[in-house]
Chain A
Amino acid sequence: MSLDHLIASGLCGFAKLLTGVRAVWLGSEPDARPRVYFANHRSHGDFVLIWAALPPHLRHRTRPVAGADYWLTTGLRRFLINRVFRGVTIDRRPDRHGANPIEQMGTALATGESLILFPEGTRNLNDGVQTFKSGIHHLVKAHPEAEFIPVWIENLGRVMPKGSLIPVPLLCTLTFGPALALIDGESRDAFLNRARSALLDLAPPED
């Protein structure tokens, strides 16, 4: 086993120990087909948790989509995202030059790999889910063959909220919902809203 693999397994093991993460599959099953897992985003640990909850044989072919502006800034982050997580790093700036993010993601899907995507764009520090950025709509148009699976991450935002150094060992649950596809003639906003409510449907009731 290579060092990269070892670090990846170690991080997954740590995430499981800290959060006791449990995967609940409602309406979909673990499967090797190319998929886009899209989830709510509260913490930097979100994709590690999705990773840890997937069976190991799927984990190695599932790549997180991550912002280059955060992940490519220091040597350690670069090593983690490129070597350990094998992330697809995209340039989130509107005035970007260089590679088109949708094409970068498409290349991964075309080789049979799956993606982890946070359509809110950035971490959400409030309750609920922010409106989705349009990237996921571009992606579903370019790759209708991929399965879009909503994943609700419960509690990780409470384990280690922004600005705190010590995590609270709460139990996290990941709920995987049924796959979502683009309907003929559906507008961009209609799809984004539908995807967002598919994700919210998996959230436990608010009190």
Chain B
Amino acid sequence: MNLTHDLIAVFGGIFGLLAVFSAIGAVLKYRISPGAPHGVIDNLNARIKAWWAMIALIGGAIWIGKWGVIGLFGFISFQSLREFVSLTHTRRGDHRALIWSFFVFLPLQYYLIAIDWYGLFSILIPVYAFLLLPISSSLGADTTRFLERAAKVQWGLMICVYCLSHVPALLTLQIAGYEGRNALLVVFLVLTVQSSDVFQYVWGKLLGKHKVSPAISPSKTVEGLVGGVLTSTAVGAALWWITPFSPLEAGLIALVINMMGFFGGFVLSAIKRDRGVKDWGAMIEGHGGMLDRVDSISFSAPIFFHIVRYWWVA
């Protein structure tokens, strides 16, 4: 099977599902609260509408090709880093370090992926940014909460740029017998992890009783977690035909990245809770900010990348 056929099959399936969900949303709205606002249903419909736009964007990026995917995730990183730094406390002395983060390290990281320089791409932020940014901040000559500030800038870059950039980096992997089809690895990762978020939400709303940790997230329940991760693991296994994996391998990998995705949302919730906010931003209606949508991808992408690289790249 060739790439175009598979992409048409997968995206056709997703758009079909979205059409079904949109219809269900419209019926719920009509049956339960016609003409009047209803918190849960209106939020559900806003989320479904945003999904149409998000899936269309990813589909468009993949259709454009390598530069489309790099451009899309570069933008997602930019917006996420904006949201992250906006909510965390930095001081005037960090200004230069922030300029370096936004205008040098972020574009450079994605450029290194575009030219397929793995050796530098994999250490740019953990090594070079890690050492150079605190030097830049220290030149601001402000010692107030210095370690904390340096850590925040580094964390923002790791979560929002380094981790997320592993999604387009999947395009650079050389897998024997899978040439020219790497875009489907991006589809597999994004679809599996995002479906896990959706199914956790759905199972949580339907059966949720026991909160995983009320101190960190009021909406994450044990029922939602188990139901969501299992359902989307099944989704991942069912998608084995677009990957270089066997069905069993696809299911196991899906389980790993779904768990990582769950804890990505969990960890970033802890940060939000500490800052006293519910969402990272207000960019995507019904979802909150960009970082609210991609926190699970950020935590799962590097692990997925290295699983594939270790076992499948010759």
Which residues from chain A sit less than 8 Å from chain B, CB to CB? 20, 22, 125, 155, 158, 161, 164, 166, 168-172, 204-207
Give A164 to B276 CA distance when docked, in angstroms: 30
Residue B224 CB within 8 A of the other chain: no
A-side interface mostly: loop
Assess the B103–A166 pair: CB atoms within 8 A: yes
Known contacts A168-B102, A169-B102: does B83 contact A158 (CB below 8 Å)?
no
Given A168-B98, A172-B86, 9 more pairs with CB closer than 8 A: A161-B95, A166-B99, A168-B95, A168-B102, A169-B78, A170-B82, A170-B85, A170-B86, A171-B281
Contact with A along B158-176 (1 / 0, CB 8 A): 0000000000000000000
Assess the A158–B282 pair: CB atoms within 8 A: no
Residue B306 CB within 8 A of the other chain: no
Residue B5 CB within 8 A of the other chain: no
Contacts of B102 in A (CB 8 A): 168-169
Instruction: Name B72-112 residues within 8 Å CB distance of A.
Output: 78, 82-83, 85-86, 89-90, 92, 95-96, 98-99, 102-103
Known contacts A168-B85, A171-B82: does B92 contact A161 (CB below 8 Å)?
yes
Assess the B95–A158 pair: CB atoms within 8 A: yes
Report B8 CB to chain A, min CB distance, Å: 35
> Can you list 23 contacts pairing A with B, beta carbon distance less than 8 Å?
A20-B283, A22-B282, A125-B92, A158-B95, A161-B92, A161-B95, A164-B96, A164-B99, A166-B103, A168-B85, A168-B95, A168-B98, A168-B102, A169-B78, A169-B82, A169-B102, A171-B82, A171-B281, A172-B86, A204-B275, A204-B276, A206-B89, A207-B275
- How many interface contacts (CB-CB < 8 Å) are there between A and B? 40
B-side interface mostly: helix
Assess the B95–A20 pair: CB atoms within 8 A: no
Assess the A155–B86 pair: CB atoms within 8 A: yes
Contact with A along B38-59 (1 / 0, CB 8 A): 0000000000000000000000
Report B251 CB to chain A, min CB distance, Å: 39
Assess the A158–B90 pair: CB atoms within 8 A: yes
Contacts of B78 in A (CB 8 A): 169
Interface centre among A22, A125, A171, A207 (most CB of B within 10 A): A171
Instruction: Name B242-275 residues within 8 Å CB distance of A.
Output: 274-275
Report A128 CB to chain B, min CB distance, Å: 13
Assess the A164–B82 pair: CB atoms within 8 A: no
Question: Chain B: interface residue count, which band?
Answer: 20 to 34
Contacts of B89 in A (CB 8 A): 206-207
Give A125 to B93 CA distance when docked, in angstroms: 12
Report B31 CB to chain A, min CB distance, Å: 33
Report B85 CB to chain A, min CB distance, Å: 6
Give A171 to B289 CA distance when docked, in angstroms: 11
Assess the B103–A171 pair: CB atoms within 8 A: no
Contacts of B96 in A (CB 8 A): 164
Give A114 to B50 CA distance when docked, in angstroms: 37
Contacts of A161 in B (CB 8 A): 92, 95
Known contacts A161-B92, A207-B89: does B275 contact A168 (CB below 8 Å)?
no
Q: Which residue of A lies closest to B280 (CB)?
A: A171
Contacts of A205 in B (CB 8 A): 275-276
Known contacts A158-B95, A161-B95, A164-B95: does B86 contact A171 (CB below 8 Å)?
yes
Report A166 CB to chain B, min CB distance, Å: 5
Give A168 to B91 CA distance when docked, in angstroms: 12
Report A175 CB to chain B, min CB distance, Å: 13
Give A128 to B276 CA distance when docked, in angstroms: 18
Q: Which residue of B lies closest to A22 (CB)?
A: B282
Q: Which residue of B lies closest to A160 (CB)?
A: B95
Smallest CB-CB A-B distances: 3 pairs: A171-B86, A168-B98, A170-B86
Contacts of B83 in A (CB 8 A): 171
Contacts of A168 in B (CB 8 A): 85, 95, 98-99, 102
Interface centre among B78, B95, B103, B281 (most CB of A within 10 A): B95
Report A207 CB to chain B, min CB distance, Å: 5
Give A155 to B74 CA distance when docked, in angstroms: 23
Contacts of B283 in A (CB 8 A): 20
Report B193 CB to chain A, min CB distance, Å: 25
